[in-house]
Structure 1
């Protein structure tokens, strides 16, 4: 399958990583005149900085949290790591960078891009506005899904307002949907003097039609997320606006790559985070992240060849073996050498593209939209999208003879594998989404489990109280700097503060 990415030239790569290193601020909402140098930085320099951080956050912390909370990964007996996950100890100090980096770096740089005006008036930066709005939409959606109310209307106003109000979650959601509509339309109707970002855009290389498709796809995901809210008329009205712009949805994996290389701090984010360092030494996280028993059993029982790409055979016994999520495990037979670690379909090379959104996920969203009646289409069309999503997953993981192997897999008469065998099509779609996003965007699987309850028999950690978290808590730093506006929370809220769309 064709993957979309563009490589920055060496000078832009230096700028991208350089700005990233210096752009974070203690003030989440203070967008400086320039994140690097007030006199020279323009959108062509700031854009890759925003995109690099965006790709890194989604490919590391957000991926790890999701995979733990949907029971894909566990920790072997020879490591005392991840205890907060297994106790479901979600607090105001738990993975705070998801919230903080979004504001302090990603939104900060994107807002700078949106506010930038060429002092000569000769250059139009509408293309950059499209990209900024689309990435903001993607990231704000997750902040609402994970936290609820967030700063929006008063956020990112530089020193003019360092204590923004928290806006109602549904209001933010619908504002994002409107912004994505505008972004897609603008991408297709740019002024003649609009500068194309070209290779400074490390995701689509300045292809604005692809940005319009991506905006449409994020918007559709958000609309389907509203399936439990009784807003069918609104959902269909918004999908009609997608149809009106005529470019549809993404047709390939959305990937970022600024020129990742086998050098310190330059490797592809997930490879570096959960794979190997620049000297080929195994990272601690790769050694202490192993498969769960449930996931291995599920993949084995459904005859899924992706098992050999999502996970590696154990080093000692050369077998696929997982373990339950728990802090204290018996030592014999449950060390990192005895269990399956993250596989080669996910950890490919230090230069690999960083996934932002897989085509497989987009196809499943469209399939669900047809099943729910949001998009016109027959059962046969929904089935084709479902089967195509599975094929796309096989191709992303680089399964040998992917199309044939995928067809053999989804042709089985197995519930939640074969379309015709699955009486509940939504359950089949979300269950496959859980498999497809294993190791990549599993934060999405966690949110979808909250929305739908699928997979229905997904276990919880053995050291928990038996209830899976449904949200994250605002970071301690927010209570320090914006105490008058941040909503009060307690640990219990992580289990009871459902997203507004639930």
Structure 2
């Protein structure tokens, strides 16, 4: 495994350097003449996986943006991000990395194998690349709304690609995933090296593709309930079914392949865990709290900071009074989570609550989701204080209530998605849930929002400022089509 990551590191860092120093125009998203053209499919896959995970778990993107918008964390070193002031550099790095490195690598991989169809494993390799691309495109569509999709990577023939309708992209991604499920052949090889997520295990990639279809379907369920039902009922049996099948990127304890936001070399004080998270977990005696957060540095108490407290807020205590994220969350070897069993079970719990046929009833899937999440963390941290009896006692404290399914499932799914800031943020805006019983869980920033279009939570990120000049016509059409390029503009599946 170590060899597979290190083999690609130099290529990945070269690409990142080139992106920063020489990629100044939109056509760089489509073609980069300085980019190595001889990277193997295995190296291209590793680079795509790592560059995406590095963005999803970076302190700049996950921390200052997604973990804030999910209201898991709130800012210490700077507080404007918790008040919805978007750092345009962090925004641009997210978009550019996913397009110029991650998706471009995967596009190159497929093109190489298409040109050499007789190579061993080429068909499975291309299918895995397309599944990975579908995962990334959904993240982009859920982050921004309409995005370039059908006209990307066409080289100099199209340096100002149009933005495609996000709902249409969703339908295309579902078709793509279904096609790869049909193509993947467990009797054939795939990647002998390079696949950090599943080590070339074709059966697990099939399970992930089915699971991603569930994620797509449940997110669009209010916009297209019939199609969501059809997809979920057809694919739930073949999705991830235990924690051993979780899709994760394995980081290492040595540079340059450590978890992108870790404290192995320095203390991290940029964020405190929010009072929103801590206070709710304390209220139900959640056994994951001591994993998600650590005691403050001046006491043995876990104390969350009120969300969105500005540095000038007179009620804000010195940061040593508040809790930082848990040591496992900042570990150099913290896995990059793509999708896990707990999420699948919460999707099925919601599907059952909505009347879909998914084997067990909603209460059973709900309990399985909680159990999967707690088991994941007790195994990862070797926590002997959490027992099976602990889990059952916890489930009894947070029982499934059919009449309150949105709040009950939404709250537990949110907890299970920690520290997957982007997915937790997307689910917060989609399900718009409260605490079980209906009392508010989330709060507006206590020091107020710095964005006039947002009060409680952004629904999206604004497009890159460079798009307004370098791809002006496409940008203006996209902004008009979605209802305005503002963080308060709801995505297509939020408008119900």
Relative to the length of structure 1, the TM-score reads 0.85
1:426 aligns with 2:406: yes
| Contact preservation (8 Å) 2:55, 2:61 | yes
- What SS class does the counterpart of residue 162 from structure 1 fall into? coil
1:8 aligns with 2:39: no
1:477 aligns with 2:477: no
| Inter-CA distance 436–393: structure 2 relative to 1 (3 Å threshold) | farther
Pairing of 1:84-99 with structure 2 (within 5 A): 85-90=81-86, 95-99=91-95
Pairing of 1:289-300 with structure 2 (within 5 A): 289-300=271-282
1:114 deviates by 1.2
| Contact preservation (8 Å) 1:204, 1:211 | yes
User: Residue deviations 1:68-100, cap 9 Å, x none?
Assistant: 112221234xx4x131x2332247666222222
Pairing of 1:411-490 with structure 2 (within 5 A): 411-412=396-397, 417-419=398-400, 423-438=403-418, 440-455=419-434, 456-465=440-449, 466-486=455-475, 487-488=478-479
| Inter-CA distance 199–138: structure 2 relative to 1 (3 Å threshold) | same
1:342 deviates by 0.8
User: Residue deviations 1:406-445, cap 9 Å, x none?
Assistant: 2221122xxxx2225x64123211101221223x212222
| Inter-CA distance 9–115: structure 2 relative to 1 (3 Å threshold) | closer
Structure-2 separation of matches of 1:330 and 1:376:
49
1:385 aligns with 2:365: no
1:130 deviates by 1.6
Give RMSD over aligned pairs.
2.8
Give 5+ residue unaligned stretches, structure 1: 1-5
Aligned to 1:249: 240
Aligned to 1:53: 51
| Number of positions where the alignment pairs a residue of Structure 1 with one of Structure 2 | 467
My pick for the range that moved more, 356-365 or 374-383, is 374-383
Pairing of 1:93-242 with structure 2 (within 5 A): 95-117=91-113, 122-124=118-120, 125-188=122-185, 196-229=190-223, 231-242=224-235
| Inter-CA distance 436–156: structure 2 relative to 1 (3 Å threshold) | same
| Inter-CA distance 207–151: structure 2 relative to 1 (3 Å threshold) | same
User: Residue deviations 1:220-275, cap 9 Å, x none?
Assistant: 0110111212x3332233335436xx633353332112x63333x3322132xxx3
**Structure with larger RCO (C-alpha < 8 A, sep 6+):** 1
1:352 deviates by 3.4
Aligned to 2:437: none
User: Residue deviations 1:248-307, cap 9 Å, x none?
Assistant: 3353332112x63333x3322132xxx34xxx321xxx2131122222211111111211
Aligned to 1:304: 286
| Inter-CA distance 14–345: structure 2 relative to 1 (3 Å threshold) | closer
Structure-2 separation of matches of 1:254 and 1:146:
21
User: Residue deviations 1:450-477, cap 9 Å, x none?
Assistant: 1121134311112334332111110012
Aligned to 2:311: 328
Aligned to 1:281: 266
Aligned to 1:369: 351
| Inter-CA distance 223–333: structure 2 relative to 1 (3 Å threshold) | closer
User: Residue deviations 1:55-77, cap 9 Å, x none?
Assistant: 1111124432221112221234x
Aligned to 2:300: 318
Structure-1 separation of matches of 2:384 and 2:117:
53
- What SS class does the counterpart of residue 238 from structure 2 fall into? coil
Structure-1 separation of matches of 2:432 and 2:195:
37
1:407 aligns with 2:386: no
Structure-1 separation of matches of 2:432 and 2:309:
22
| Inter-CA distance 255–270: structure 2 relative to 1 (3 Å threshold) | farther
- What SS class does the counterpart of residue 228 from structure 1 fall into? coil
More helix by share: 2
Structure-2 separation of matches of 1:293 and 1:119:
54
Structure-2 separation of matches of 1:352 and 1:467:
30
1:171 deviates by 0.5
| Inter-CA distance 118–459: structure 2 relative to 1 (3 Å threshold) | closer
| Contact preservation (8 Å) 1:15, 1:49 | no
Structure-2 separation of matches of 1:316 and 1:74:
19
| Contact preservation (8 Å) 2:295, 2:302 | yes
Structure-1 separation of matches of 2:194 and 2:232:
31
Give 5+ residue unaligned stretches, structure 2: 435-439, 450-454
